[in-house]
């Protein structure tokens, strides 16, 4: 008789999880260059699993590998954010409809636990934990919907959504608004008001989209201003 031996995560999987976690949590910023050598040294492994991990993260849309230039944390234009929000809205609203039809009480139960934890995180000022719970709130829709293909499709964009979400977590006002909307969504599900919940969920995704765009534009402005200042200095010397 042969015994099944549980296999632990490979070095490539560990490296991917490490890099992904730093990107998603905002420790590596949008557009920041990634060094295979530096990452390998941080992890205490060779460059090969790091290189393989980067290829996996490229498939997940978290890194951009540019020939002759290097590897960078993903960046998104305003137009790409709009497209991402469109796909997210299509998937989440479809999953929500299935979840309500299949097990409204399970969705209500999961959301109730998450919203309670969100309140604690906000009270403690733990913005990182709040955004993790925010992601779990939306993931619960797909978990209750029980549609493998919807879940797999959402997984393609989920890490990028969470990475952007975490970059918004430093603004307490945004977190408070987000929490209020999650509370209202929970109340609508508890009372079986699916139409109101769908309308609010669609609005919530649009609101988040607009915050993403504002955030990304704020990142670009200082850089643009710096280039303009340099051009003015050069013009003054000619």
Q: What is the pLDDT of residue 230?
A: 45
**Whole-prediction pTM:** 0.80
Query: Mind listing the domains of the chain with CATH numbers?
Result: 11-73 (1.10.10.10), 78-222 (1.20.120.530)
Q: What is the pLDDT of residue 174?
A: 82
Q: What is the pLDDT of residue 142?
A: 98
Q: What is the pLDDT of residue 175?
A: 86
Q: What is the pLDDT of residue 60?
A: 86
Q: What is the 3-state secondary structure (H, E, C) of the chain?
A: CCCCCCCCCCHHHHHHHHHHHHHHCCCCCCCCEECHHHHHHHHCCCHHHHHHHHHHHHHCCCEEEECCCEEEECCCCHHHHHHHHHHHHHHHHHHHHHHHHHHHHHHHHHHHHHHHHHHHHHHHCCHHHHHHHHHHHHHHHHHHHCCHHHHHHHHHHHHHHHHHHHCCCCCHHHHHHHHHHHHHHHHHHHCCCHHHHHHHHHHHHHHHHHHHHHHHHHHHHHHHHHHHHHHHHHHHHC
pLDDT per residue of the chain (238 residues) written in tens, 0 to 9? 445 555 667 899 999 999 999 988 878 888 899 999 999 999 999 999 999 999 999 988 899 999 889 999 998 888 999 999 999 999 999 999 999 999 999 999 999 999 999 999 999 988 888 988 999 999 999 999 999 999 999 998 998 898 888 777 666 778 888 999 999 999 999 999 999 999 999 999 999 899 888 877 776 655 444 443 443 344 333 3
Q: Report yes or no: 133 and 114 within 8 Å, Cβ to Cβ.
A: yes
């Amino acid at each position: 008789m042969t015994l099944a031996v549980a296999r632990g995560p490979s070095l490539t999987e560990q490296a991917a999880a490490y890099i992904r976690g730093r990107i998603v949590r905002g420790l590596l910023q949008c557009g920041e260059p990634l060094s295979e050598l530096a990452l390998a040294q941080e992890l205490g492994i060779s460059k090969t699993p790091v290189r393989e991990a980067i290829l996996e993260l490229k498939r997940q849309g978290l890194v951009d590998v540019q020939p002759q230039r290097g590897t960078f944390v993903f960046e998104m234009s305003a137009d790409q954010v709009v497209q991402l929000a469109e796909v997210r809205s299509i998937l989440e609203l479809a999953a929500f409809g299935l979840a309500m039809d299949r097990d409204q009480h399970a969705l209500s139960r999961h959301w109730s636990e998450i919203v309670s934890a969100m309140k604690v995180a906000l009270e403690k000022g733990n913005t990182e934990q709040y955004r993790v719970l925010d992601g779990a709130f939306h993931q619960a829709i797909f978990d209750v919907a029980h549609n493998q293909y919807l879940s797999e499709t959402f997984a393609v964009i989920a890490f990028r959504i969470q990475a952007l979400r975490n970059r918004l977590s430093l603004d307490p006002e945004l977190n408070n608004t987000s929490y209020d909307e999650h509370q209202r969504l929970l109340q609508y599900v508890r009372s079986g008001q699916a139409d109101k919940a769908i309308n609010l969920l669609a609005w919530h995704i649009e609101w988040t989209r607009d915050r993403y765009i504002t955030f990304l534009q704020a990142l670009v402005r200082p850089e643009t201003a710096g280039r303009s200042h340099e051009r003015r200095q050069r013009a003054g010397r000619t």
